[in-house]
A and B are shown apart, each in its own frame.
Chain A
């Protein structure tokens, strides 16, 4: 077997449990360790690393689902989403999609439909922790903008910031489960959507409940809506919202689009 084939087979045997290992096992010599055990040790190391990573990113989901079922989901996720990045902190972004699919197909998860939303929240919290630092808003450059510039003006959000909208009281569920599980948890669906903002204040990620107008503005900015369009639309109350976003560091800069 060529070295290229050997390495390809080795990786596939470890990361894809359904892959037929017979070709690779022929390259191994049985010692006091049977060849199946030799490969099995690497398979366990891999699934252990993936599970540990997802447990660290999704503690609330794990507490709600229980350790065993969460481990099963980790294996399912690893099978469907090979790790393509050397940094394990980048792995697991699509776990919420797996939970959504599980909630649709598994009757035992009836009543747990909020899990996909909760996983999205946990991923964004995790991403906020590792995101780049903010640059300081350049008030001097902003004050020097010419009138013509405002039609090209786009505000940029802090790299650590993301927003989330949900019909579930996610902040309550998350707070109750990420550290310890209360004996009994019952939640009432709020009348209106819950709007959340995750951002890093100094060095620590924060979760804030925000009002609908703030969410709407941040969503528009996140979608690169320029300043002129924001001002012309009656959906936005820019005079009230914008200064606060800059003051809190949620808007961290601006660009002029050509």
Chain B
């Protein structure tokens, strides 16, 4: 299982080979030392791959240690899967190096583009929901999956721009891409809510329209209210509105691993773990309800 540490804990821990379950948290640098020291019970950790590209030093050492202790997934922000330009091979190779050296359950990135002509926006930029955009995503995702060697997960993004020339709803767009590229989906409930407020996205149609067999992960995060719009800021607790949407979603997609993301104004680890516990409680409730109905 663990290529770099064949004799390590991960290699002997059968939990690492099982499918992911439960609620995880996004690993962020202020918490790494505490996690390594106290080894709290966390179902799994999501590594923001872009934070772990260092060739050596503390970051690389911590990555090794974390991967020995917890099941991990890899989440990236730079594949630029919607880009009309070529895939950044250097970036993909860096992701592959992490995969080759560690036990990684899966890789996820976003349904967006982030660079053009080599210039980086360092943001997740939306594309119009058109057939041409679908074709671009399908080509790029297929190319990445060929190199990665497995299906990847793609995530719906929050956006602030509305394009004139859209031919599909967001859920139609995502479903078509997932089917044609034969990839999995990561559904960010906060992004769905942000888009509902910013663009009037129909949340019910979105939840009901997604192909059940493709959804493999859920993200939950906080946003910032700017009056006219919501900013997907990941700097606050999950809002009540997003928890409500999560309840609707998890009923349709029970047992889907869920992750709490928090990237700015990062609080104490306990706060994240409390959010994770709340998500776990909700998921367990609907899972039990599903069993009762069955």
Contacts and interface: CB of A to CB of B under 8 A. Distances in A.
A142 to B, nearest CB: 23
A46 B119 contact: no
B265 interface: no
A18 to B, nearest CB: 15
Contacts of A10: 116, 121, 125
Interface string A13-48: 011000000000001111111000111011001100
Contacts of A86: 50, 78, 88, 90-91, 114-115, 120
Interface string A38-66: 11011001100110000000000000000
Contacts of B125: 7, 10-11, 14, 42
Interface in B60-88: 60-61, 78, 83-85, 88
B229 A33 contact: yes
A71 B119 CA distance: 21
A145 B108 CA distance: 50
Interface stretch (A95-103, A105-113, A130-138, A149-157): A130-138
B133 interface: yes
Interface size class of A (residues with CB under 8 A): 35 or more
A83 B123 contact: no
A31 B56 contact: no
A202 B164 CA distance: 55
Contact of A203 (B58, B84, B164, B198): B58
Contacts of B113: 7
Nearest to B160: A41
A194 to B, nearest CB: 26
Interface size class of B (residues with CB under 8 A): 35 or more
A3, A14, A46, most chain B CB atoms within 10 A: A3
A46 B119 CA distance: 12
B278 to A, nearest CB: 28
Nearest to B233: A45
Nearest to B58: A203
B57 A39 contact: no
Given A83-B122, A132-B56, A203-B57, A3 B136 contact: yes
A88 B122 CA distance: 8
B238 to A, nearest CB: 21
A84 interface: yes
B50 A87 contact: yes
A83 to B, nearest CB: 4
Contact of B229 (A11, A41, A88, A160): A41
B57 A46 contact: no
Interface in B146-179: 160-165
A33 B198 contact: yes
A38 B60 CA distance: 38
A131 B162 contact: no
A203 B61 contact: yes
Contact of B57 (A83, A84, A87, A130): A130
Contacts of A70: none
Contacts of B133: 3
A94 interface: no
B55 interface: yes
Interface in B113-142: 113-123, 125, 127-128, 130, 132-133, 136
B117 A11 contact: yes
A216 B54 CA distance: 30
A253 interface: no
Given A14-B123, A86-B91, A203-B57, A29 B163 contact: yes
B88, B123, B200, most chain A CB atoms within 10 A: B123
Given A31-B162, A31-B200, A129-B58, 7 more contacts: A7-B83, A7-B125, A11-B125, A33-B160, A89-B53, A129-B57, A133-B60
Interface of B: 50, 53-61, 78, 83-85, 88, 90-91, 113-123, 125, 127-128, 130, 132-133, 136, 160-165, 198-200, 228-229, 231
Interchain residue pairs A-B with the least CB separation, the first 10: A133-B56, A132-B55, A86-B78, A203-B58, A41-B160, A11-B116, A83-B120, A132-B56, A38-B161, A130-B54
9 contacts: A3-B128, A7-B83, A29-B163, A38-B162, A45-B123, A82-B119, A86-B50, A129-B58, A203-B58
